[in-house]
Amino acid sequence: MNILTEKFGEIIIDENLIFDFVEPIIGYDELKRYVLVEHSENSAFKWLQSIEEPSLAFPVTSPAFFDIDYQFEIPTEKAEKINLTSVESLISLNIVTIPSSNPRKATINLLAPIIINAANKQGMQLILSNSNYPVKCSLFKDEQE
């Protein structure tokens, strides 16, 4: 399948790799279908590209790439909503904000991870309750304030 994107131009994607979000990303209630696009070979970053909106692509990564100690529990009702029955099927990513003025000041949203069941391609943005994780955590230790 070919899709037109603002960031990458026209790209070919495997329809089997499209994720259907059963709960939306905050602020994008009408957009439900996404695909992961590689940033570059061996990069810690990927792009969560909307299938429905060519201009929307979120940079995402795993906190583990940046030695950030990060663990959370998925409430049973949320796991059931994406039919997640094993941790082996879980893809967990976090949205990154990268300022164009200084990419070293990039932050990661630890309060609202993206969770995806790789087995059935269903996902959602999960807002962690009773969590002290910040919305903006510095990715690079030398840039922490």
Is 140's pLDDT higher than 90? no
Mean pLDDT of 66-81: 96
pLDDT at 45: 94
Is 66's pLDDT higher than 90? yes
**Residue 101 — pLDDT band, cuts 50, 70, 90?**
very high
Mean pLDDT of 65-82: 96
Q: Which one-letter amino acid corresponds to residue 31?
A: L
What are the tens digits of pLDDT across the range 1-42? 999 999 999 999 999 999 999 999 999 999 999 999 987 888
Mean pLDDT of 82-107: 95
- Which residue from 20, 128, 17, 131 is spatially nearest to 83, judged by alpha carbons? 20
CB atoms within 10 A of CB 77: 7
Q: Which domain holds residue 110?
A: 2-143
* Number of independent structural domains in the chain: 1
Give the CATH number, domain containing residue 117: 2.30.290.10
Is 145's pLDDT higher than 70? no
Q: Which one-letter amino acid corresponds to residue 39?
A: H
pLDDT at 141: 77
What is the residue-averaged pLDDT of the chain? 94
Q: How far is CA 17 from the centre of its chain?
A: 14
DSSP string, 78-123: HHHHTT---GGGEEEEEEEE--TT-GGG-EE--SS-EEEETTTTEE
Q: The pTM is what?
A: 0.92
pLDDT at 144: 56
The answer to whether residues 106 and 97 touch, using CB atoms and an 8 Å cutoff, is: yes
